[in-house]
């Protein structure tokens, strides 16, 4: 089995890295930049002022588009595409977290490609071109800053869909950990879960994999647990914020799948996308609810894999089913330490039968797909997992 690793993004990391933005855009030869961002925090923190100043100093023209929300919306993407085409944008600078970067990637495809951008997310077309993207990261979570993926929510029916394409990997990513000192306790918690889960989804691949990659994966998960818990209590701890930031990037750039079946599993992610698409809960919280339920449902197929994860991450000694069950228990304890809900009910979601069927319709693309690769899930399996999570 052949796997590949391709992570061409130039990473600029450390205290003061934010001031490199002008230099990086100059290296890219950007002439007309779309500065894309979220709410008011980038404005209030002074980061947007710094960006504007840097662009002016380098005499690079720019337009701005703010207003990206968590679970970024297709309508704003369409607006960005319109602006980009009208203004002749040749580079997009995403200033924010995963939602802003994902929105920027979608805008990037849309400016260069004809037709409806949603077609890429709906699986109808492959993008051949994209406007290049650069990132100043302000939230450690999704790993979109080094990944080839983006997730967009279509408000018509609240469909949340992901699209992966290497042409969307950012040209540069400015990772300045101090920019995340102001991230809230809750966002730090759900971000940490998201970071862990990107590696866990890859850990549960089908077939044999590379032992060294398992060891690296466990190191990333262990460190994210340790540093996440520190960052929650000490939001301006540089080591903790810096480790989380880099873990966010490495968890989703492909490194944690090298030598494995690179599809990973991703059933939890896809089940979660429908959940947060419908209920607008935080992605990390949804994952914390669904992962233990998924484990409970599938561990018997290959208990040793679960026990290995527990051994490498938590140092458990047990193997087989005992090891698997203990691993699941340890992850639940861990998620509890991160103040996560462990059931839909705890998250305030009272799942009716109608809602469940709607979730299943969406998760199966109305009967057109299964989920997972470590274990293939049919509609009935998905139903069982949602019910275990209830």
User: What are the residues binding a copy of itself (CB under 8 A)?
Assistant: 1-8, 10-17, 20, 210-213, 215-216, 219-220, 222-223, 227, 239, 242-243, 246-247, 258-259
Pairwise CA distance, residues 240 & 183, whole Å = 13
Provide the minimum distance between the beta carbon of 292 and a copy of itself in the complex, in angstroms, as a whole number. Answer: 26
In terms of Cβ atoms closer than 10 Å to its own Cβ (0-12, 13-18, 19+), residue 61 is middle
Which of residues 38 and 310 has its CB atom nearest to a copy of itself in the complex?
Answer: 310
Which of residues 210 and 355 has its CB atom nearest to a copy of itself in the complex?
Answer: 210
Which of residues 71 and 249 has its CB atom nearest to a copy of itself in the complex?
Answer: 249
Which of residues 20 and 381 has its CB atom nearest to a copy of itself in the complex?
Answer: 20
Which of residues 5 and 40 has its CB atom nearest to a copy of itself in the complex?
Answer: 5
Helix (H) or strand (E) holding 62: strand 61-65
Q: What are phi and psi of 70, to 5 degrees?
A: -55, 150
Which of residues 117 and 247 has its CB atom nearest to a copy of itself in the complex?
Answer: 247
Pairwise CA distance, residues 52 & 60, whole Å = 10
What does R_g of the chain's alpha carbons equal in angstroms?
20
Provide the minimum distance between the beta carbon of 256 and a copy of itself in the complex, in angstroms, as a whole number. Answer: 12
Provide the minimum distance between the beta carbon of 208 and a copy of itself in the complex, in angstroms, as a whole number. Answer: 9
First to last CA, the chain: 38
Nearest to 136 by CA among 29, 36, 250, 285: 36
Pairwise CA distance, residues 386 & 72, whole Å = 24
Written as six digits, the tokens of 55 are 């662009």
Which of residues 16 and 367 has its CB atom nearest to a copy of itself in the complex?
Answer: 16
Provide the minimum distance between the beta carbon of 126 and a copy of itself in the complex, in angstroms, as a whole number. Answer: 16
Provide the minimum distance between the beta carbon of 242 and a copy of itself in the complex, in angstroms, as a whole number. Answer: 6
| Core vs surface per residue 240-250: b (16+ CB within 10 A) or e | bbbbbbbbbbb
Residue with tokens 């590379």: 210
Provide the minimum distance between the beta carbon of 39 and a copy of itself in the complex, in angstroms, as a whole number. Answer: 27
Pairwise CA distance, residues 195 & 178, whole Å = 18
Provide the minimum distance between the beta carbon of 20 and a copy of itself in the complex, in angstroms, as a whole number. Answer: 7
Provide the minimum distance between the beta carbon of 365 and a copy of itself in the complex, in angstroms, as a whole number. Answer: 31
Which of residues 222 and 390 has its CB atom nearest to a copy of itself in the complex?
Answer: 222
Beta bridge partners of 92: 34, 133
Q: Check if the beta carbon of residue 277 is closer than 8 Å to that of residue 234.
A: no
Pairwise CA distance, residues 100 & 108, whole Å = 12
Sign of CA dihedral 140, 145, 150, 153: positive
């Amino acid at each position: 089995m052949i796997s590949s690793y391709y992570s061409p993004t130039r990473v600029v990391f450390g205290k003061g890295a934010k001031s490199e933005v002008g230099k990086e855009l100059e290296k890219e030869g950007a002439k007309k930049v779309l500065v894309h961002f979220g709410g008011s925090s980038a404005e209030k923190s002074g980061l947007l002022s710094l960006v504007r100043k840097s662009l002016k100093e380098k005499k690079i023209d720019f337009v701005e588009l703010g207003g990206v929300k968590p679970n970024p919306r297709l309508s704003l993407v369409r607006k960005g595409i319109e602006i980009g085409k009208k203004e002749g944008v040749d580079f997009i600078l995403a200033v924010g977290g995963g939602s802003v970067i994902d929105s920027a990637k979608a805008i990037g495809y849309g400016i260069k490609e004809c037709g409806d951008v949603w077609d890429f997310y709906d699986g109808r077309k492959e993008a051949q071109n994209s406007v290049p993207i650069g990132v100043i990261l302000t939230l450690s979570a999704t790993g979109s800053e080094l990944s080839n993926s983006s997730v967009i929510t279509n408000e018509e029916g609240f469909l949340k869909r992901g699209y992966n394409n290497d042409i969307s990997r950012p040209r540069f990513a400015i990772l300045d950990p101090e920019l995340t000192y102001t991230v809230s306790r809750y966002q730090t918690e759900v971000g940490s879960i998201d970071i862990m889960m990107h590696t866990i989804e890859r850990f549960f691949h089908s077939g044999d994999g590379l032992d060294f990659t398992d060891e690296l994966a466990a190191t990333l998960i262990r460190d994210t647990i340790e540093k996440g818990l520190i960052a929650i209590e000490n939001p301006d701890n540089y080591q903790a914020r810096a480790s989380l930031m880099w873990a966010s990037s490495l968890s989703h750039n492909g490194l944690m799948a090298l030598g494995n079946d690179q599809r990973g599993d991703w059933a939890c992610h896809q089940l979660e996308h429908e959940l947060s698409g419908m209920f607008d809960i935080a992605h990390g919280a949804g994952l914390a609810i669904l992962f233990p339920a998924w484990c409970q449902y599938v561990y018997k197929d290959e208990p040793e894999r679960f026990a290995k994860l527990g051994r490498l991450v938590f140092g458990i000694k047990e193997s087989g089913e005992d090891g698997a069950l203990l691993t699941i228990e340890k992850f639940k304890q861990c998620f509890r330490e991160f103040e996560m809900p462990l059931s839909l009910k705890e998250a305030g979601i009272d799942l009716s039968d109608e809602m469940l069927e709607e979730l299943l319709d969406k998760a199966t693309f109305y009967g057109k797909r299964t989920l997972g690769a470590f274990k293939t899930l049919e509609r009935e399996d998905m139903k069982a997992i949602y019910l275990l999570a209830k």
